[in-house]
Amino acid sequence: MSIPLAFGWRRVLFANWPIERDLLARHLPEPFAVHEYDGTGWLTIVPFVNTDTRPLGVPRRLGMDLPELNLRTYVVCDGEPGIYFFSLDAPSVLAVFGARLTHRLPYYYARMSVDYSTNGICFRSRRRHPGSRPASYAVTYRPTGSSFTAELDSLGAFLTDRRRLYTQSQDGQIRYTDVEHGPWILYDASVETTDNTLFRANGFGPPDTEPVCYYSPGVDVVTTPSKRW
């Protein structure tokens, strides 16, 4: 059984690629449909740091900090929009096991590092999960320009302001988790990617377009328990 969680998402990069709807649909289980923006689906890589991760009600000082990396897309299930994760990587065996058990999410153990320099945030990940396909990612990113809040119905809002996470468990059950947080404060992002095999590890070809990228200093988050759809 899962429990409500509280944590912060910090130093977040959203690197977003348009992808043809039918190609994306072939990777989604029923009953999910591709959620399109401007006639296309989207794949997003999100590196960030979880901070003060803890059960809801536990003091913040007792929480755990942990970097994370995920590959996700945007779906609709019976009219309800949300995020569908193809993979999530984290450098903690305990966190990976707990998320797989309680939220049925496809977490993988990986070695990760997050460093800070004058060039920006240097995020590195290499999957080490037994039996999994190899997946690595290396990126340096930083905010540019002035901050903004994405306008309703804009691409920025479509890609960032999501309040539901969907997954499918090993027995075929569709499950969801609702997410509460304040508005994202966004920046355009300068991004240098030196390694990215996440697409290939999840059955997609390498992207042939430049990503649309946003940076956020982060939000505080509360999640509900995982529920059966």
Residue 177: which pLDDT band, with cuts at 50, 70 and 90? Answer: very high
Q: What is the mean pLDDT of residues 202-223?
A: 95
| Residue 1 reports pLDDT greater than 70 | no
Which DSSP helix (H) or strand (E) runs through 19? strand 5-19
Residue 44: which CATH number? 2.40.400.10
Residue 38: which pLDDT band, with cuts at 50, 70 and 90? Answer: very high
The count of domains in the chain is: 1
User: What is the distance between the alpha carbons of residues 207 and 210, in angstroms, rounded to a whole number?
Assistant: 8
Question: To the nearest whole percent, how much of the chain has pLDDT over 90?
Answer: 77
pLDDT at residue 131, rounded to an integer: 85
Residue 137 near residue 123, CB atoms below 8 Å: yes
User: What is the distance between the alpha carbons of residues 204 and 17, in angstroms, rounded to a whole number?
Assistant: 12
What is the β-pairing status of strands 80-90 and 164-168?
Answer: parallel
User: What is the distance between the alpha carbons of residues 14 and 48, in angstroms, rounded to a whole number?
Assistant: 9
| Residue 195 reports pLDDT greater than 90 | yes
Q: What is the mean pLDDT of residues 92-111?
A: 84
**Residue 132: domain span:** 5-228
| Residue 23 reports pLDDT greater than 80 | yes
Residue 207: which pLDDT band, with cuts at 50, 70 and 90? Answer: confident
| Residue 6 reports pLDDT greater than 70 | yes
| Residue 82 reports pLDDT greater than 80 | yes
Average pLDDT, the chain: 93
pLDDT at residue 24, rounded to an integer: 96
| Strand segments (E) across 78-135 | 80-90, 107-117, 120-127
Question: To the nearest whole percent, how much of the chain has pLDDT over 70?
Answer: 99
pTM here?
0.95
